[in-house]
Structure 1
């Protein structure tokens, strides 16, 4: 609440002469009716109305105070906020090939850690449309661009290894994600590609797909996950005598194609990141989050409504009450 004309509060200074005149009059007042002997009257108890006679002054001050507040025009404001955003459209491209089963991101495998890290990244974004593409020997859209992050979380939770996880088609995955972004009206179109291997499937070379994405105005951040050299990989082995299938951990060679990922990022004005463990993977997504910020413009409008009527009516009522009491219960006999 605000007061449109606060200068009217200066009228409250008139309370000073009002109080001064009242006190002076009370001290000079002498009763007009004289008695020869006041001893009997002095023994009588003082009535409540005699003690409460000063309430007239209180009512007068309160009434005039309420009228002054009404003159100051109290107003109640309502604020409307208009937010305009220039969000970023982001396609998350995730490798679900068999090599993502590697356990160098202990205690979970690479895919499980990547899924949780991606979810954390999504929760930090606001006003951005985000989609998901997964790929192995072929790629498909797991979730189109959406602002409903809770639905996207559910899709990510459902990501697992499939029957086409035996190979890695990076070029096809880039083309699939670019197809989702090509008609986007967003000012910034971004692709975040996470993989731990080399392109060994699909008919589209990764570099050719990156050049096409660049022509569409898409920036690609590439993330190479996993340690170099030998990494632990769970492998299912079948006992030839009992037929029982058991899981064993064997050391296999990591085949990450760093040079291709760097070239993809360079061609599209993106950046290549290397993540060798869970902590470094989280820091990579944090850096990307800082690099791709959404522009938010806020306009605030405030409209005010008059609220002086209750004060005005209350002031009139209090002054009317003071006038009625002055000429009835608290009337003085001359």
Structure 2
């Protein structure tokens, strides 16, 4: 008797479970169709990507480090004022390759063209009067700077030449050197550095004491103008630190880096996810309807 009741209860439970599955089948089909419809709509996820293309300029800063650069008509003196303004200029040209040439009686490449501005600034910081035998070889300085740019593929190649004197040594005439640079497509911005008249210059006496002697400011402006003119550049005269700062600002505006911005959207297709889930629900519906449940009598 107990077996019969238990058996009947089991039959009732199985029948009830199958009925519930049968009722769930339409819902499974509905979910499957909804997922197929969503997949057919081709859902995508994406974000806007911005690419920036820069066309940098190659610039060689060419700095006079002869003894006259110790004159104090600039604060604290010419060489330190020149280094300060050059450093600010370099720091603002983040898309350009910068090189550094120093000169007195001879010219030396202090730093090759590089995008690593930290290295350029570090080497510029080490520049001081006395590293090279005294003199002013402007022509040799232009040739050395032009050699840094000779193999450059940049569309704009520039030499910024800063000096406080006149060419009194070296193997190459400044204008001849400027013509050679122009033939290579190099533009020269020349800067004459020094006040008008006389400037205080530090001199040590026999006892090692420093005194300041007024000395004539002798800048060969005619040559510097020719150097700039034949190369398609421009000549500037800096009579104090403020004027030198404005000159570098003007050069910065004149030589702008070309920047091209391109925007596009990158998409990732997501239809595979609802398509897969749709097949899962459809398979479940078919399995429950034709295998598990079967037609209920």
**TM-score with structure 2 setting the length:** 0.77
Higher alpha-carbon deviation: 177-186 or 156-165: 156-165
Question: Partners of 1:67 and 1:102 in 2: how far apart?
Answer: 83
Task: Answer yes or no: is the 8 Å Cα contact 1:89–1:130 preserved in 2.
Answer: yes
Candidates 202, 227, 250, aligned match of 1:264:
227
Shift of 1:82: 3.5
Question: Partners of 1:311 and 1:282 in 2: how far apart?
Answer: 64
2:254 matches 1:291: yes
Cα distance change of structure 1 residues 69 and 274 upon mapping to structure 2, 3 Å threshold: farther
Candidates 243, 251, 265, aligned match of 1:302:
265
Task: Answer yes or no: is the 8 Å Cα contact 2:94–2:117 preserved in 1.
Answer: no
Shift of 1:188: 1.0
**TM-score with structure 1 setting the length:** 0.69
Task: Answer yes or no: is the 8 Å Cα contact 1:98–1:165 preserved in 2.
Answer: no
Question: Partners of 2:277 and 2:211 in 1: how far apart?
Answer: 86
Shift of 1:81: 3.6
2:101 matches 1:130: no
Question: Partners of 2:133 and 2:73 in 1: how far apart?
Answer: 19
Gaps of 5+ in 1: 1-64, 240-244, 316-334
Shift of 1:130: 0.8
Question: Partners of 1:74 and 1:267 in 2: how far apart?
Answer: 63
Gaps of 5+ in 2: 1-33, 279-297
Match of 2:180 in 1: 212
Cα distance change of structure 1 residues 80 and 248 upon mapping to structure 2, 3 Å threshold: same
Shift of 1:69: 7.8
Task: Answer yes or no: is the 8 Å Cα contact 1:96–1:165 preserved in 2.
Answer: no
Cα distance change of structure 1 residues 71 and 260 upon mapping to structure 2, 3 Å threshold: same
**Count of aligned positions:** 257
Show CA shifts across 1:207-263 (max 9, x none): 111111111111100001110211011111222xxxxx1111111111111111011
